[in-house]
Amino acid sequence: MCEGFDSYEPGDETRRNMFADPGGRSALRATSPRNQRNLPCPTCGTPNVLTPKDKAKGYQCNRCADSEEGCF
Q: What is the mean pLDDT of residues 51-70?
A: 94
**pLDDT value for 25:** 85
Per residue in 16-46, pLDDT (tens digit) is 678 898 888 899 999 999 999 999 999 999 9
Residue ranges per domain, the chain?
Answer: 40-72
**pLDDT value for 8:** 45
- For residues 8 and 50, give the distance between their C-alpha atoms in angstroms, rounded to a whole number: 23
Counting beta carbons within 10 angstroms of the beta carbon of residue 34, is it exposed (0 to 12), middle (13 to 18) or buried (19 or more)? exposed
Start-end of H helices in 8-51: 13-16
Query: pLDDT at residue 6 above 50?
Result: no
**pLDDT value for 32:** 92
Query: pLDDT at residue 72 above 70?
Result: no
